[in-house]
Structure 1
Amino acid sequence: MVTPFTETGGLDLDGARRLAARLVARGCDGLVLSGTTGESPTTTDAEKSALVRAVREAVGDGVPLVTGVGTADTRHTVELALEAEKAGADGGLVVTPYYSRPPQEAVEAHFREVADASGLPVVLYDIPGRTGTRIEPETMIRLAGHPRIVAVKDCSYDFLGIQKVLERTELAYYAGCDEHVLALYAVGGAGYVSTVANVVPDRVRAILDAFDAGDTRTAARLQQRLTPLIEAMMSAGLPGTVTAKALLSRLGLPAGPVRAPLRPASREAADGLRAVYEEFVAA
């Protein structure tokens, strides 16, 4: 979920409540707050906790809330995990420590320390394109033995490695890249954590519903139909946060500006996104 801001750049908790309620009403089983799309690098610790509390108030206790607690600093990550637990989160999304590029032994120790620190289940976030460091499959397999390390948000683009981990562990794998929603689900994934679903939650959900119903042909067609919108939002030169907020704003939904260093989409880019969206929903 994006993190809505006011026009002056403050945290828009009312907008967050409304957006969260809409996403759940339109098919999201749970919500991930303060992830990459949620602009976690530019929200404060207090804002992250306030966001969890506000969204919990909006969606109730029956909707799982996972919140990003990962940083480049193990101590800070532990602090955020403890605060997330107090705020009412159901799980912590923990990204691989970035910039310092720790070796695998240190990556594993980082995740274990965070998982030991609180009672929250941990979702490992493997996105080497942003962090510079992969969670290698063998590291993932060892980490799966920890009782509170239960899931993975995958943006590794290593489909063979994913299947190795799926075959040898009980980790719940979630596609973190929208183009992999169906592909990962078909080989045993648990679902997806989607940026595009900020805009069309029911259409992304429909892919997995069709697969669950045994209609794999329809599932494939729905994934293919989504491809132009995925490309426009995720592979056209702008971060997904920027494109999602541009589209949400054009649709009159809570979003607001992005925080620097991100910059808003240009009018031309926003017009192009809206055109792709309109063509998609009309199909």
Structure 2
Amino acid sequence: MDFGRLITAMTTPFDAEGAIDWETAGRLIDYLIEDQQSDSLVISGTTGESPTLTDTEKEKLFRFAVERAGGRAKIIAGTGSNDTAHTIHLTQIAEACGVDGILLVAPYYNKPSQEGLYQHFKAIAEATKLAIMLYNVPSRTGICMTTDTTLRLAAIPNIVATKDCAPLDQLTEIAAAAPDHFRVYSGDDSVALPALAVGAYGIVSVASHIIGGNMKKMINAYLEGDVRTAAVIHAQSMPIFKGLFNYPSPAPVKYALALKGLSVGGVRLPLVALSEAEGEYLRQLV
């Protein structure tokens, strides 16, 4: 399964009452694929506010995204949790919805051992035919999946990728030793280009909501050997990369989308929307 080089972790649009805004969700999917050049979309990931979406909402989102994308981009369902049985349940729902793959975050809060992490992901892989992307994000989960555990999981045929937010040296180690079918994606926009330089295949991005076209140019320039151009685009993009995480995500990217004329509503508690003062920096960038 090739998820492409540029994957957008899509926000979930809400209406004034905090319910999913389906009309806007459709427009956002079209915009990310056609205007921002996303190869794949992650639905109900962290940026999609997965912690506050119900299973019923997630199922409807998975099915809606598959139908709306219509094969123009791959759809990756965020089905991971810190409960293996529940993750399997949601993964099987996603598979029935026709998604192309799943994103599985490392179990948070209960802090399993490395063997526990391995057994968790192995059990899910055995319960589905879908392509699996692991998600290692220590800053959110409180646990870091090691290089050895990642490579051990990479030997499982339908575990095909990792979205890794660990330090660059770990990305380097994984990319250097992974089997041919296994691809490494940076989960941090601000190290997208350095990650490519050490062997990553692509980026799972938030900034691609706003500057996806430029990010695609950067990736293509690097792949074509034009490192100077790639470096210039990366440097020019850095204020956006940083600005979208000045406050808890996805409030900044939702604010930025509104500035670009695509209002996707607010965020669900315990997240809160940016104030006008907090959004001043983004207004200068977008």
In the aligned structure 2, how far is the partner of 1:55 from the partner of 1:268? 34
Structure 1 residue 63 displacement after superposition: 1.6
Any conservation in 2 of the 1:176–1:192 contact (CA below 8 Å)? yes
Map of 1:25 onto structure 2 = 34
> Are the counterparts in 1 of residues 39 and 74 from structure 2 also a CA contact under 8 Å?
yes
Query: Moved runs in structure 1, 4+ residues, more than 6 A?
Result: none
User: Residue 204 of structure 2 aligns with which residue?
Assistant: 193
Equivalent residue, structure 2, for 1:113: 123
Q: 2:279 — aligned with what?
A: 270
For residue 14 of structure 1, report the CA deviation from its aligned partner.
1.6
* Alignment counterpart, residue 87 of structure 1, candidates 67, 85, 97: 97
> Among 248, 255, 259, which residue is 2:264 paired with?
255
Report percent identity of matched pairs: 38
Letter of the 1:40 counterpart: S
Give 3-state SS (helix, strand or coil) of 2:281's partner: helix
- Tell me the distance in 1 between the aligned counterparts of 2:176 and 2:201: 13
Q: How does 1:162-201 map to 2 (within 5 A)?
A: 162-170=171-179, 171-201=182-212
CA contact (8 A) 1:38 1:241 kept: yes
Contact 1:31 1:65 (C-alpha < 8 Å) held by counterparts: yes
- Counterpart CA distance in 1 for 2:213 and 2:72 is 19
Residue type at the aligned position of 2:150: M
SS at match of 2:250: helix
Q: Is the 1:72–1:99 Cα contact (8 Å) retained in structure 2? A: yes
Match of 1:11 among 17, 20, 26: 20
Q: Does the Cα contact within 8 Å between 1:17 and 1:57 map onto a contact in 2?
A: no
Please state how far the C-alpha of 1:212 moved relative to its aligned partner.
2.0
Greater CA drift, 224-233 or 48-57? 48-57
Cα deviation digits, residues 68-98 of structure 1 (max 9, x gap): 1111111111011101111111111000100
Which one scores higher on RCO, CA 8 angstroms, separation ≥ 6?
2
In structure 1, the gaps of 5 or more residues are 278-283
- Is contact 2:171-2:198 (8 Å) kept? no
Shift of 1:62: 4.0
Aligned to 2:152: 142
Moved more, 195-204 or 129-138: 195-204
Aligned to 1:202: 213
2:243 is the alignment partner of 1:232: yes
Question: Structure 2: which amino acid aligns with 1:175?
Answer: S
| TM-score, normalised relative to structure 1 | 0.94
Report if the CA contact (8 A) 2:174-2:184 is conserved. Answer: no
Give the distance between the partners of 1:151 and 1:35, measured in 2 at CA: 16
For 1:215 and 1:185, locate their aligned partners in 2 and report how far apart those are by CA, in whole Å: 13
For 2:74, the aligned partner's letter is P
Q: Give the residue type in structure 2 aligned to 1:108.
A: Y
Q: Please identify which structure carries the higher helix content.
A: 1
The code of the aligned residue for 1:199 comes to I
Q: Where do residues 41-60 of structure 1 align in structure 2 (5 Å cutoff)? A: 41-60=51-70
CA distance in 1, matches of 2:183, 2:158: 12
- Larger deviation, residues 215-224 vs 266-275: 266-275
Q: Is the 8 A contact 2:42 2:77 kept in 1?
A: yes
Aligned length: 274
Return the offset for 1:33.
1.1
- Partner in structure 2 of residue 281 of structure 1: none
Q: SS of 2:278's equivalent?
A: helix
For 1:72 and 1:59, how far apart are their aligned partners in 2? 29
In structure 2, how many angstroms separate the alpha carbons of the residues matched to 1:191 and 1:259? 30
The amino acid of 2:249's aligned partner reads G
Q: Does 1:215 find its partner at 2:222?
A: no
Is contact 1:178-1:230 (8 Å) kept? Answer: yes
TM-score scaled to structure 2, two decimals?
Answer: 0.93
Question: Any idea what SS the aligned residue of 2:76 has?
Answer: strand
Cα distance in structure 2, aligned partners of 1:74 and 1:223: 38
